[in-house]
Structure 1
Amino acid sequence: MSQATLNAAPPNAPAEKVSGPWRDAWKAFRKNKTAMMGLCIIVFFILIALLAPLIAPYDYKEQELVNRLQAPSADHWFGTDDLGRDLFTRVLYGARISLWVGFFSVIGSIIVGTILGVLAGFYGKWIDMIISRLFDILLAFPGILLAIAIVAILGPSLQNALYAIAIVNIPTYGRLVRAKVLSLKEEEYITAARAIGMKNSRILLKHILPNSLTPIIVQGTLGIATAIIEAAALGFLGLGAQPPDPEWGKMLSDSRQFIQKAPWTVIFPGGAIMLTVLGFNLMGDGLRDVLDPRMKS
């Protein structure tokens, strides 16, 4: 009997699970308690945003002036605002707006920034010079001031606030991708791909982009938290969501004159912003620890 037969696994032995970088990253992520806490917070707010019509006890537009500025009670868990609207209902629906702006503004920034960053880093020369100067111009302005200027030009609305936040954050992802591409295109496997006649488009899609995903994912997760704060800031200034849409920043702006008389009108929307941003920051830090090779021992 041959040695190979002796060493063969028994027929009923369980097959080993196939390991891979993403599976290993998920295992490491699950061991990070703070990252899992952040993920739980995010999932919680996503669920209440999706289920708001089923959970909310009132219509977020419904006004009862006789019940204005009521303290939290069994009928109104978070109290009411200056127009008698149920704050619990408005905070639930506000999660929809804040998460919608956060996710889609970051997605837009990532798409445009990645395209420009790849073109600048891979082709270089005059293309790199033009795109890099564009990034420098955008980064020369404070982010919130540039967003205010864009919304002021386009007109106050939630959609225009989303566009403004996306435009402001494009250089962040563009420069990140450009730096990654500059390092990747000098790797030996890229040189080998060119040597065998592989086209640039295939090199970009098969080698460059897949290996550039890690920093984009980490920065994107952290960027959602920043986008939510920026949306709240624009809403606070009256440049974001317009009445009667229940946006958290707008709710804070409408309630600032009642801080002493009715503090609950500020505490609950402000707490929702704080918890949501905290969740994305915790999860982003966990993803950085898992996906960044420099953070591994």
Structure 2
Amino acid sequence: MSQTAQSQNLPAAVKERSPFISALVDFWKAFRKNKPAIIGAVIVFFFILLAVFANIIAPQGINNQNINIRLEPPSAQHWLGTDSFGRDIFSRIVFGARLSLRVGFFAVIGSIIFGTFLGVIAGYFGKVIDTVISRFFDILLAFPSILLSIAIVSILGPSLNNALVAIAIVNIPVFGRLVRSRVLTVKEEEYIMAARSIGMGNTRIIFNHILPNSFAPIIVQGTLNIATAILDAAGLGFLGMGAQPPQPEWGTMLSDSRQYITDAPWTVLFPGLAIILVVIGFNLMGDGLRDALDPRMKN
């Protein structure tokens, strides 16, 4: 049978499949083979569901205080117990997922936008521009991330939104250097030279060729950095520099309950466990994305 006859016998969905759909199918086939990555994705999806449907899932008000039931252990009425103000810990953890994921996602999105912008400019144009931007990245990377975040929040003032801004600023050089290194490689490819030879402008080359070929490492690094951002937000909250009471942010909950770690360990155990699970989930999923998107990992 000829190739023409074989192609006519193919299902219409196969013949009309776009390159994007084909790439998506290949990605899913590679990703689902990674069992730890699937576990991580399930954990992340679980916490996203908690955040989205917090108003339905949480059985109690997050700020409803009842001193008569303060520091009660887990029970049928309060699944994870109550804190020092008699507030339901399960409800606060559920709403805390909304706060922590918001910080993680928006901080990383901000870092990606500014880091990618600076990285593309530095890598594509080079020379003095590259030197100035690279030294800016080096200055930011010279400070430990948590200390730089504390310094920025100290200037802006303690709050969850300011902690989000601080975490975004701290992570800019991570994405900036990643994109810069990718641009330095891609801009030397033959198709970029061909685009220049036909008179294509720098802006079109960047948006049509440079950025599309740099998305894969950005997605992987972004997924991993969401976990870091959530951990940093919890650290700032624990130090009193992030979310302020009575916001049910996990780090703030740990800070408020640390003095009861021996008398009421559940007040510390469950918020800490939530932080651990969501960070592990994003890390496992990020590793799976790296393996699925990196062509060097494919046979």
Judge same fold: TM > 0.5, yes or no.
yes
Q: Could you list the per-position Cα deviations for residues 71-116 of structure 1 after superposition, in whole angstroms to 9, with x for gaps in the alignment? A: 0001100000001000010000000000000000000000000000
Give the one of 125, 138, 141 matched to 1:139: 141
Which residue of structure 1 aligns with residue 157 of structure 2?
155
Q: Secondary structure at the match of 1:8?
A: helix
Residue 62 of structure 2 is matched in structure 1 by 60
User: In structure 1, how many angstroms separate the alpha carbons of the residues matched to 2:148 and 2:86?
Assistant: 35
Please identify, of 25-34 and 200-209, the stretch whose mean Cα deviation from structure 2 is larger.
25-34
What secondary structure, in the 3-state scheme, does the structure 1 residue paired with 2:152 have?
helix
| C-alpha distance in 2 between matches for 1:121 and 1:161 | 29
CA distance in 2, matches of 1:261, 1:175: 47
Shift of 1:32: 1.6
> Quick one: percent identity of the two aligned structures?
67
Q: 1:8 aligns with which of 1, 5, 10?
A: 5
Closer, same or farther in 2 for the Cα pair 1:127/1:10, shift >3 Å?
closer
Per the TM alignment, residue 7 of structure 1 is displaced from its structure 2 partner at its CA by 6.0
Among 67, 87, 90, the alignment partner of 2:89 is 87
Q: Distance in 2 between matches of 1:11 and 1:118?
A: 45
The one of 166, 169, 174 equivalent to 1:167 is 169
Aligned pair count?
A: 294
Residue 114 (structure 2) pairs with residue 112 (structure 1): yes
| TM-fit CA distance, 1:16 | 6.0
Residue type at the aligned position of 1:41: I
1:249 counterpart residue number: 251
Given the alignment of the two structures, is residue 50 of structure 1 paired with residue 52 of structure 2, yes or no?
Answer: yes
- Structure 1's 115 and 80: CA in aligned 2 closer, same or farther, altered over 3 A? same
Q: Structure 1: how far apart are the matches of 2:114 and 2:66?
A: 45
Structure 1: which amino acid aligns with 2:249? E
Tell me the distance in 2 between the aligned counterparts of 1:10 and 1:151.
62
Note the 1:192-207 alignment, pairs <5 A: 192-207=194-209
Q: CA distance change for structure 1 residues 205 and 13 in 2, over 3 Å: closer, same or farther?
A: closer
Structure 1 residue ranges without an equivalent (≥5): none
Mapped partners of 1:24, 1:227: distance in 2 = 30
- In structure 2, stretches of 5+ residues that fail to align are none
- Structure 2 residue identity aligned to 1:270: G
Structure 1 residue runs of 4+, over 6 Å off? none
Shifted more, 28-37 versus 121-130: the winner is 28-37
Deviations 1:40-87 (A, max 9, x none): 111110001111111111110110011100000011000000010000
Q: Distance in 1 between matches of 2:168 and 2:89?
A: 29
Go from structure 1 to structure 2 and tell me whether the alpha carbon gap of 1:295 and 1:11 turns closer, same or farther (over 3 Å shift): closer
Quote the offset at 1:15 in angstroms.
3.7
Q: In 2, distance between residues paired with 1:22 and 1:7?
A: 26
Q: Which amino acid aligns with 1:171?
A: P
> In the alignment, does 2:131 pair up with 1:129?
yes
Q: CA deviation at 1:22?
A: 2.7
Q: One-letter code of the match for 2:5? A: A
Deviations 1:113-163 (A, max 9, x none): 000000000001111111001001100110000000000010000000000
Over the aligned positions, Cα root-mean-square deviation in angstroms equals 1.5
1:60 to 1:10, Cα distance in 2 relative to 1, 3 A? closer
Matched AA of 1:14: P
AA partner of residue 127 (structure 1): I
The residue number in structure 2 matching 1:296 is 298
Alignment match of 1:22 (pick from 11, 24, 28)? 24
Q: Deviations over 1:5-44 (max 9, x none)?
A: x961496653462362232112211222111111111111
Q: Say whether residues 1:32 and 2:29 are aligned partners.
A: no
Question: Is 162-171 or 26-35 further displaced after alignment?
Answer: 26-35
TM-score, length-normalised on structure 1?
Answer: 0.96
- 2:271 is the counterpart of 1:272: no
Asked if 1:212 corresponds to 2:214, the answer is: yes
**Aligned equivalents of 1:14 and 1:242: distance in 2?**
58
